[in-house]
Amino acid sequence: MAGIILRSFVLLSSFMFSMSNTLHLPTNTEYTANLSHSSLLSVPKNLPLQTTILDLQSNNISILVMSDFSYLLKLKVLNMSHNKLSELDSSIFSLNKELVYLDLSHNLLAVIYGQFIEGIQHLDLSFNHFNSLSMCEVFKNLMHLKYLGLGAAMVQKSDLKCFQSLRLHTVLLELENLSHYESGSLQILSTLKLQLVLPKKDMDPYILLSDAVNSAQILELSNMNYATTHIDAESFTNSRVSDITMINVTLSWSNIVKLFQAFWKSSVQFLKVEEMTIMGAIESEYFDYSATLIQEVMFQNVTITDYRFSQADVYTFVSEMNILSLTVTHANVLFMLCPSKPSIFRSLKFPHNALTDDIYQDCSNLANLESLMLAWNKLKKLSKVSSMTTHMISLQNLDVSHNSLQYETGEDCHWPETIVNLDLSENQLTESVFICLPTTVKKLDLHSNQIDHISWEIRQFAALEDLNLASNRLKDLPDCRPFGNLVVMNVAKNSIQTPSPDSLYSCATVKAIQAEHNPFQCNCDIREFVYREKESSARLPKWPESYRCAYPETLKGTLLQDFHISELSCNRSLLIVLIFLIVAILTLSLFCLCKYMDIPWYMKMIWRWTQTKQRTKNKWSTQQNLQQNFAFHAFVSYSERDSSWVKEFLLPNLEREDGSIQICQHERNFVAGKSIVENIINCIDKSFKSIFVLSPNFIQSEWCHYELYFAQHKVFTENSDDLILILLEPIPKYLIPARYHKLKALMARRTYLEWPKEKGKQRLFWANLRAAITINLVESDDELIT
């Protein structure tokens, strides 16, 4: 059915909190059908069979029949409050053997018949339309009943006699519309706690009160709204009640004093007043404080309608009470008088008022006070708070939280040596507060202040065991040296990004550090903090789920325990050593490679060739024709040891007598005064071809290597093909040095001319060679090579 919300609960629904403490329902998983506030006219017929909790409150149901619940055999809790039921046959629940909680309050019930099942423990029939309690016969078999709520317009002894057999823990008796009450009726009830809702009518509730204080040990009175009340204190003297709570009280000051006087002489030990309004004028009233059993009085939410009165009359009334504990909260109290004589107060609590620093100044009659609470007031100077406690020589617990306390350096602070618990949270204190604090304190709460650091030079707090600095402005863990016996420290919700190693070291003996919800900076500096806490995670109660990176943005939300960064990234010395080793290895490797490939020689040759080419380019830059002009058909490169072959065979066979072929030969064509390298480059540049006479002698010549290198470089830069290799004698590859690797490559991929030993083949050799170098040369003069 639409509207049914079926789910598994570990806790019962909220309305069950009204049940008595003696009622124990199963705490295992329950199934709840919540149909409250659904405008239902009848109970739905298709509820899940496993339903154990059914909430039907605040609907329009007027009739219940057996079929409504007969199939819900597991039903334990049923809330039918705030409906329109006018009569009830209690036998409709006869099949619901597990039902223990039944709420039928706030209906229109006037008639009940039948009998309830005997397993019910909580039954509420209050705020209905019963004229009397004559229907009590339906309850007599409820031997397990612990809570019973009833209401009627008439209360008589005869109607309540059947309740004597029940051992009830709590009885709620709603008498808002009471028209008749027989004296002594309430005393018939056998219950530990009585909740009595007094009549709304303007009547004197004296008879009811007299019976109520003798009917239960715990009494709760609601709706005491009377202009006049006749109270005979003597009738309260031998009462049974020990604990009284009055809720929604509206009385005159005179009646309040009379009522308290009656309770003062009774058996009452605990007295609490909630939502009290004092009507009319307030005048001084006599009050006898002697011979009372009351130990504790509480006032909560007090309103005075007439502000034209002497406040001393009210403050004297409470300050002179000879009780152990006094609480006044939400009463807008502006001041509190010092008792006129030594008081037995051990606990004073005045939270949520308007008290100032002037309270209890120079008060010496609170020597027995052990606990003082002034939270949520208007205290401003911590030094005045300390002077207030000077004469409280038994004070152990002081709570001045949620004020506007400040401390200025230089102000004197005087505390009793007995203070062990001090709550200064939610104030405006800075790090200077430690100058003012008592050194005897064991538990110190400074959370939600303005402390940004704690110097190790402050006084020693040897007794301090628990320090709360949460929600301050700390940027680092505090130095723990002033707190030698610290056991627990809370620095959660501060501005700590990277706890420093010094602070971690100083706090090594602290057993528990709460540092969660800080904006941790995940970098090298936080590694030690993470490492230490991984080793001893018991020190951080909420580790690891509440410790996350806030910076940098890329790591935001990462658990600190999952943050990793290498040692190399954080250890600068190690990084420098590693870089030095890498550079050294690369340098050594490069040196060895250069040595093996003879790179220095090549670099030297490139430099020389570049310099010579630059000079040649500058010399010829003014020529109009930039096209290459050759002066020789060929340049011959050979070893000096092969010069005889060149002069006897090569030159005669190429040049001939007709001069048609011009050969550049160093002995006759190199220009005196120029460097050898420049001459070599000029000859190569001005020759159509370059002929290299290869032999074992060639590869042993340094100058032959230069000539081959420059010629090959020309081939590469000008994309030409002007190298001619003549193999005069075979050259074993193992004899070719490493720097002649290009020669090896040339011989491997180029066709070279091999000098034939047979004379018959030599004619063809010269013909091929002449054909390879034949070209028409332009007319030139000696300047062509100068």
The CATH number covering residue 777 comes to 3.40.50.10140
pLDDT at 718: 64
> Which amino acid, one-letter code, is at 401?
S
- Chain mean pLDDT for the chain: 85
Domain assignment of residue 117, yes or no = no
Find the CATH number of the domain harbouring 514: 3.80.10.10
Q: Which residues contact 751 (CB under 8 A, 6 or more apart)?
A: none
pLDDT grade, residue 610 (50/70/90)?
A: low
pLDDT grade, residue 611 (50/70/90)?
A: low
Picking from 511, 540, 561, the residue at the C-terminal end of a domain is 561
The percent of residues above 70 in pLDDT, for the chain, comes to 87
CA–CA gap between residue 426 and residue 445 (Å, rounded): 9
CA–CA gap between residue 635 and residue 637 (Å, rounded): 7
Residues 542 and 570 in one domain: no
For 759, the domain range is 628-785
Among 15-19, 400-404, 691-695, the range with the most confident prediction by mean pLDDT is: 400-404
Residues 578 and 653 in one domain: no
Residues 493 and 517 in one domain: yes
Nearest-CA neighbor of 19 among 97, 108, 121? 121
Segment 764-777 shows an average pLDDT of 80
Residues 536 and 662 in one domain: no
pLDDT at 648: 87
Note whether 399 and 373 are within 8 A (CB). yes
Taking only the tens place, the pLDDT of each residue in 544-554 is 888 999 988 98
pLDDT at 329: 97
Asked if the model's pLDDT at residue 455 lies above 90, the reply is no
CA–CA gap between residue 365 and residue 369 (Å, rounded): 9
Long-range interactions of 611-618: CB distance < 8 A, separation 24+: 612/675, 612/677, 612/678, 612/681, 612/682, 613/681, 615/678, 616/681, 616/682, 616/685
CA–CA gap between residue 378 and residue 405 (Å, rounded): 8
Domain assignment of residue 701, yes or no = yes
Note whether 204 and 228 are within 8 A (CB). yes
Domain assignment of residue 347, yes or no = no
pLDDT at 5: 35
Domain assignment of residue 773, yes or no = yes
Among 170-179, 394-403, 527-536, 733-742, the range with the most confident prediction by mean pLDDT is: 394-403
| R_g of the chain computed on alpha carbons | 55
> Which amino acid, one-letter code, is at 177?
N
Asked if the model's pLDDT at residue 408 lies above 50, the reply is yes
Note whether 360 and 366 are within 8 A (CB). yes
State whether the Cα torsion 11-12-17-20 is positive or negative.
negative
Domain assignment of residue 485, yes or no = yes
Residues 676 and 753 in one domain: yes
Asked if the model's pLDDT at residue 597 lies above 70, the reply is no
Taking only the tens place, the pLDDT of each residue in 301-351 is 999 988 777 888 899 999 999 999 999 999 999 999 999 999 999 999 999
pLDDT at 6: 34
Q: Helix and strand tally (H, E) in the chain? A: 17, 33
Segment 105-130 shows an average pLDDT of 94
> Which amino acid, one-letter code, is at 738?
A
pLDDT at 701: 79
State whether the Cα torsion 434-438-444-447 is positive or negative.
negative
Segment 77-88 shows an average pLDDT of 96
SS3 337: coil
Residues 689 and 772 in one domain: yes
Asked if the model's pLDDT at residue 398 lies above 60, the reply is yes
Segment 432-454 shows an average pLDDT of 96
Query: Which residue in the block uniquely carries the two structure tokens 């001090």?
Result: 422
Taking only the tens place, the pLDDT of each residue in 251-263 is 989 889 999 999 9
Least confident of 104-113, 216-225, 483-492, 770-779: 770-779
Asked if the model's pLDDT at residue 624 lies above 90, the reply is no
Picking from 505, 536, 561, the residue at the C-terminal end of a domain is 561
State whether the Cα torsion 83-84-87-93 is positive or negative.
negative
Compute CA 60 distance to the chain's CA centroid, rounded to the nearest angstrom: 48
pLDDT at 613: 52
Note whether 699 and 734 are within 8 A (CB). no
Least confident of 70-79, 119-128, 419-428, 590-599: 590-599
Taking only the tens place, the pLDDT of each residue in 257-292 is 999 999 998 999 999 999 999 988 888 889 999 889
Select the more confidently predicted residue: 769 or 463.
Answer: 463
Select the more confidently predicted residue: 771 or 79.
Answer: 79
Residues 640 and 763 in one domain: yes
Segment 564-579 shows an average pLDDT of 77
Residues 554 and 575 in one domain: no
Residues 456 and 499 in one domain: yes
Domain assignment of residue 690, yes or no = yes
Long-range interactions of 622-627: CB distance < 8 A, separation 24+: none
At 225, which helix (H) or strand (E)? strand 218-225
Domain assignment of residue 711, yes or no = yes
Q: Which two tokens stand for residue 12?
A: 């019962």
Residues 553 and 573 in one domain: no
Long-range interactions of 62-65: CB distance < 8 A, separation 24+: 62/86, 64/88, 64/89, 64/92, 65/92
Note whether 451 and 477 are within 8 A (CB). no
Query: Which residue in the block uniquely carries the two structure tokens 């064991």?
Result: 442
Residues 573 and 649 in one domain: no
Domain assignment of residue 318, yes or no = no
Least confident of 43-47, 126-130, 134-138, 427-431: 134-138
The percent of residues above 90 in pLDDT, for the chain, comes to 46
Segment 192-201 shows an average pLDDT of 90
Number of domains in the chain: 3
Picking from 561, 590, 615, the residue at the C-terminal end of a domain is 561
pLDDT at 138: 84
Residues 736 and 753 in one domain: yes
Mark residue 316 as left, alpha or beta (left: phi above 0; alpha: psi -120 to 50; beta: remaining). alpha
